[in-house]
Structure 1
Amino acid sequence: MTYQPGERVALVHTTDPHTLLRPGDEGTVRRYDPDLRIVDVDWDSGSRLAMVLDAGDRIRRIAGKDVSDADWRRVLDALRAAGATAGRAAAQWWAQDAVGGRARGSVAGTARQVLTAVDDGDPAVLDGLPAADRYSVAEDRDRYAEAAPDGAPAWDGLTAGRCDQTRWAWCDGFDAAVTDEVARQCRVVLSPTGDDRDLSHLHPKQARIGGPGVFAGDWAWTPNAEGEMRILVGFIGTLVDTWNGWAVFTCTRQVAEAIVADQHAARDRYRQHLATEGVTGTDQDDLVDESMARMRFDGDVIEVDESRVHGDPEAVQRIAPSADGRYIVMGWAWTWIPVHPYDCDRIAGDIPGPVDPAPAAES
């Protein structure tokens, strides 16, 4: 027979003639040495007399208060919630050093690395996050006293197995909350929307025909002040086709206007670059027109003039909206790709929520 710390026992007999303990006195097992068969007991009377089983001392286990499965689940839920509270606090301290006010270097780079690791379950990164110690029993009693709901059985009446369950519930809550809060903090750092919304459903790997995505030209990557390659603006749309690996998407009038404005901004940036190179006047105009299309709205129609780009006076497209007011801007012509929203400094368009998968057809 073995004994576990936390088990309740009652004295049956002791060979110690000097103790004040009497048969029936109760206590809690502190430690058991299976080799020497010695049970260290914290007796309720205050005595610390150990039971030497091979010398004739005898104790019996005391059955704990019977707790229904539902009540015990309620206890574990409370421990899990307490662990989650501690986990969120630990993650917030981590964030201050890693991606917050005390961080050094590129916090955006760290945030992207951590979010990718969370998505992929990469232990090389996740092992560096705060984690609960699942094998330390030192704080079990205090955690139980703080978190157990009213009506929960007394700690001293729990079996060793249930003591372990309380620790694992607390640790489960802690670790899950750390991951969630770390991801939230990283999303705040990276989010082009300025909040902590989870945009993982817009990851390029999730792009499907008929589904939402964030799109940009494969030419759109630009180094920022820290030398990181970023996309100034991504465009919300619905993927409707692909060609040669490039995306074709529909978008709202709002997004179409943003695409036209982005083209104007790109032309202006190129003008500024040419000016720094000493190219001005008509030479500058010619180089800009030969490199980038002119775009403008003519009523509800987008006019895209690439005549100078291709040296073809007929290379002018007029893009009208569909019956539901959506546009396909230079689909099957420009090399659009789905991009990760966290790679964008700004996103044009209303960001959709996750789309529930269609139910499987009944056979």
Structure 2
Amino acid sequence: MTEQKLHNQAGRTVEHSGDNAGTAFPGASGVLFEQAMAQTRMAVTLSDPHDPDHPLVFVNRAFLELTGYDEDEILGRNCRFLQGPGTDPEAVARLGRAVRDNDVVVVELLNYRKNGAAFWNAVHIGPIYHEDGTLRYIFGSQWDVTDVHAARSEERHARLMEREISHRMKNMFAVISSIVNMLGKTSTEPALGRDINERIRALGRAHEATLQLSFQQGRVDPTQMFRELVGPYTSDPRALDLDGGAVQLDSNSVSILALTLHELATNAVKHGALSSKRGRVALSWRMCRADGQDQPLLRLTWTERGGPPLHGDPERLGAGSEITTRMLRAAGGVIRRRWDTAGLTAEIELPLQC
């Protein structure tokens, strides 16, 4: 049996003796080859391109450690046994095209070890030729890049968070600008700066409470946000009753709801239920659809009970109420206030940008 030198496309040679790479390579060069393959940390395989199923005919120790299989469980099989339910068929097809075209390619695959554990595998394959230019093997190397893949995911998540926070902040400053402009036109009170600051703090509480929900898919439970918004206006937790399910909130609706509930709560402290020790506020919400509309609608009901008797003209709205009414109207929403002997009931409808 004569010694052969196998050339890859880079011009380097892998020396071995004999025709069967699945057995030990006889000869001094074969010993060196096996020792080199045993020492390298990169998993290496050779497959037979002349067999229709491209079976593996050589694997090194690093490949056995990477996959958890024994050598006798691998040799003679196509490398597809590492694939599983999460493996991308398009990535597998890219490998298949490279083998068919005698091309060199690097593809990241989700593969599975013998124990079922998934790992991201950077697979590099390419042809190895005889000195006469005929194809001899398909060389393969594998590298566990699970940590690298996770780092990329974290980086994408960080970029998503950065964009979301930037969007929220731009939206918040736009709302603040609207508050300042409208208050400047409607308010004659000397405490204009205090009013602005109170509304800005309400916005901050709302966005802080919902920041952790920004990256969840689908509906989220806004109970904590509503508690953060209304809770500071009463020292008695029993004065606030929250009832509602998960809804789909966007940053614009968060800002509008923050200002609306802030105005309702401050008015309740000044004139309504929260000005009395026996006063109670119930806030309920649900998602629905308006008649003939496909866009989802958030409907909230604010109900005050146990407050002092009504005095004066409750229909006369202050500057804050005008702001919330205009902001809701600009977003396609509405607020309906109804006063009776029991107290105020406010119904809010706000289209959601989902």
State if a TM-score over 0.5 links the two structures.
Answer: no
The structure with more strand, counted as a fraction of residues: 2
TM-score w.r.t. length of structure 2: 0.27
TM-score w.r.t. length of structure 1: 0.27
